[in-house]
Each structure stands twice: as C-alpha cells, then as structure tokens.
Amino acid sequence: MSATKTLLAVVSAGWLTAMAASCVSSLDQAKARAANRDMPKSFGPGTPEAPSDDDKVEGPGPLSVAVQKQWDEFFVEKDLRALIAEALSNNQELNVRTQEIIIALNERSARRGEYMPKLGAGAGVGLEKVGTHTSQGMADEATGVPVNLPDFNFGLNASWEIDVWGKLRAAAQAADQRYQGSIEARNFFITEIVAELANSYYELVALDRQLDVVDGNIKIQEDALEIVKLKKAAARATELAVQYFQAEILKNKARRFELAQERVNVENRINFLLGRYPQKVVRSRADLDLPTPDVVDTGLPAHLLDNRPDVRQAARELEAAKLDVSVAKAKFYPSFSIDLGLGYQAFNPLHLLATPASLFYNVGAGAMVPLLNRSAITAEYRSANAHQIQAVYMFEQTLLKAFTEVMTQMSNIKNVGERYQRQSQQVDTLQGAVEVSNLLYRSARADYMEVLMTRRDLLEAEMELIETKRNQKQALVKVYQALGGGWQAPQPNVEPAADKG
C-alpha cells in the first residue's frame, strides 16, 4: 500500500511539472534578445583600430595610457591631489554609496542562506483541556488523565527546500551581480568626483588669474587716467576723454566683483565635494601652466567594456535581470521540501527527559505546485522578462554614451589646442598694438578712443586666453573620465572575512 502511495505521488508530481512546463512555454514568446556589444573598430582617424580575427594575438591588448594611471599619478598638481584624497575620504555621497555596497552584500548573504537547510531550536509549555463529550475526552476520563493537561516540550526543527529548478541559486547569483554592480556604481561616482574636483580646481585657478589680469588692467587704466587729466590741464585733451577713461575703470571694477563672486561659488562647490564647510581652498596660480598629461593613446573602443564602471555596472544589471527571469520562471514548477522534528515532550516535567518514552520525532517530504495563484506568478514572470529587455536597452545606451563621450572629448582636445595657439598669437599682437597706441597718443597721432579700444581688446583677449587654457585642462580631464579613469586606486574592503567565499 505504501509503495502504491509513493508511485501515485511521483506520478502526480510529474504530471504537475509537465503542466507547469507547458504553461511556461507559452509565455516564452517575448524573450529578450542578446545585448549588442559590437562597436566601431576605433575612435576615429589617428586612433588604433581593433585587430581582425586573423591578426588577433593571445593575451590582453594595450590599454589606454590615461586609464592605466591612477588619479594620483595622472594629476601632477600637489594641491589638487590633496583635495581629491580628502574628497574620497569625506564626501558624504560617496560614503552613502559605500553603505549601499554593504546593503547589497547583506542581501547577497541572505539569498545564499535561502538554499541552505534551516535549523531551529525551540521550547514550550502549555495547558490543554479537551471537551468531555469528545472521543479523546471520554478516553482521557476513562484512563484517569487529568482534565487540565500540561504540555512541556523542547527540541529541534529543520526544513529544507530542495532547489530542483535552481530558483534559489539563481536568486543568490542575481544578488551577487547586484552587489558587484553596487561596487561599480561607487567606482563610477569616484570618476565623477575626481573629474568634477579637477574641473573646479582649474576653474578656480583660472579665476585667480583673470582677477590678476583685471587688477593689472585697472592699475594701467588709472595711470592712463592721470595722464589724460594732465593733458586736459594743458589743454591737450577734453573732459570727454577723462570721462571715457573713468567709465572704463568703473566697468572693470564692476567686472572684478562679478569674478570675485564666481570664485566664491567655485570654492564653495569644492568645499561641498570635500564634505566640509566653506573655507579657503589651497591652490597655486602656476598650476594652470603646468604641462598636461599625455592621453593620446585612447586604447580600443572594446576596452570601454573593462574600463568604464558604468558600462560594467550595466553589464552586471543585465546578468541579474536574466537570472531574475529564471527565478520567476521556476515559480511555475513544483517546489519540494523536507521537514524534520526531534525533541522531548511530556505532560509531567519529571518525565520530560525520559528516553525513549518522552522522545518524539517526525520527518516528511512534500511537493507543492501553484494552481489558483498562477495569474500573479504569470504577471511576475512577464515583469521580469520586461525588466530583462529594459536592461538590454540600458546596457546598449550606456555603451553608446561611453563611446560618444570619448569621441567628443578627443575632438574637443584637438580643437581647443588649436584655439589656444591662435589666441596666444592674438594676445602677443595686441600687446604690441597697445604699446604703439600709447606712443601715438603721446605724440598726438592717435586719439584716446584708439587707446581705449586697443586696451579693451587686449583685456578681452587675455581673459579669453585664460579661459581657453582652463578649457584645455578640463578637456583632458573629461577624456580621462570618458575613458574610465580615476577609480583604479585601492578601494576600502567592505566585505566581511566570513563572506568572501
């Protein structure tokens, strides 16, 4: 008889499994396609191309010179390096990202524990009275069992869901992918912090230089004003010339206040990134003239898959989404479990440890397949599949964004360098023109408007030259960021030693 029951149980479980499989197969019509990882062979003319299948050699190819360098090697300015180091220690948002890693790590540990057997210990005490007009009540009365029957027990309980379909392991693997993705998210934020700090630092130094230029121009204009006043006293100039020079000085002084406020804004932005209240930021004006790092070798587009933390994170999310589909799909199939209990139970505490009289145990196995709640499971499966398709698009979008950023910034480096050369020549030419206009004005061969316009043009050219130099520095920082540099410095270990397996 027991063999017949076992056979019926096996047949029933097989029939339920086949029914669930046939239902799932009808839902597989909207499977997500594989993500497109193909990219152009190079970043454009003058950059290395990916080798063909015939030219490929074993081993890793040459990575970008920029990306191989940590931020403390890439940036030569010691004050900037000190600011970046402080930001990576104190930035609140970065510390929030670190806690997110810890949360993801704990989630991974929880998912790993779900496919392990569960074992618990318990103890209890109770009181039971059954009705007299029941079969048990009449039997207890006939045998002299007390009406109020105590119950003392303690023991072990164990249960284990057998992961036949890999549902629990897939959930654990998905949690692991998201944990790894949280690390990549923090790394990507590090590249953003490093880039934003460097850009803000160069902007701050450039504002210092521009304020120096404006102050110098105001001093020159004030000296020129005194000369014009003397010429007016000698009847060689008019009041109109005096007013024009005064107006130009007032204009530059007003501009100085504007630049000073911009400097305060940038300083406060840097202090915020450093996680501290507003204070003076240590910097050197000479840092704007230091040689720029060499980032000519951008590597191959395929290296973005390894170098860009956001691309790596998108790849992790894509793998996790695939595993989520497997988990949702497995919920259609029967779940198998084993339950076990072992302990002591007695109505008299004096007999609680009597062996084997008070010893109890139970063991059982079961299979469960959902029948009435399939609509909810179907909806969950379709949502998981939609999330997988969504992850495919997000991965492709992230990869496209990474490639486009590198292309844009490489073009920017070239054009801003050409612009800087032309503006340097313009400044040199205007400096000579200012000297000529001063000589002509003193000899009455040029009027004051020519002097004013020439000096105004020189001031604007010098200001633009400083801005272009700043843009040149920032363009290199943006290429460094676009290539995925800045996060390679050693990161703090947040994984407990017991969970490293």
Residue 403 · residue 39 · CB < 8 Å: yes
Which residues does residue 359 pair with via DSSP β-bridges, in sequence order? 344
Sign of CA dihedral 315, 316, 322, 328: negative
What number of other Cβ atoms are within 10 A of residue 178's Cβ? 22
Handedness of CA 105, 108, 109, 110 (dihedral sign): positive
CB 485 within 8 A of CB 74: yes
Is the domain spanning 116-130+140-162+335-368 CATH 3.30.2020.30? The answer is: no
Chain centroid to CA 430:
47
- Write the CB contacts of 44 (distance below 8 Å, at least 6 apart in sequence): 407, 410, 411
Given this structure, which CATH class describes domain 31-48+62-114+165-333+382-499? mainly alpha
**Each residue's pLDDT expressed in tens, for the chain with a length of 501 residues:** 444 444 444 445 454 555 555 555 555 555 667 888 877 776 665 555 554 444 443 433 334 445 557 888 889 899 999 999 999 999 999 999 999 999 999 999 998 888 788 999 999 999 888 888 898 888 888 888 888 889 999 999 999 989 889 999 999 999 999 999 999 999 999 999 999 999 999 999 999 999 999 999 999 889 888 888 888 888 878 888 889 889 999 999 999 999 999 999 999 999 999 999 999 999 999 999 887 665 555 566 777 777 889 999 999 999 999 999 999 999 899 989 999 999 999 988 888 888 888 899 999 998 888 887 788 889 999 999 999 999 999 999 999 999 999 889 888 988 999 999 999 999 999 999 888 888 887 777 778 788 888 889 999 999 999 999 999 999 999 988 888 888 876 555 556 554 544
Asked if the bond preceding 356 is cis, omega within 30° of 0, the reply is yes
Q: What strand order describes the sheet that includes 359-368?
A: 118-128, 149-162, 335-346, 359-368
Residues 14/17/18/22 CA torsion (nearest 10 deg): 180
Strand partners, 195: none
Q: Quote the CA–CA distance of 79 and 77 in Å, as a whole number.
A: 6
Domain ranges of the chain: 1-29, 31-48+62-114+165-333+382-499, 116-130+140-162+335-368
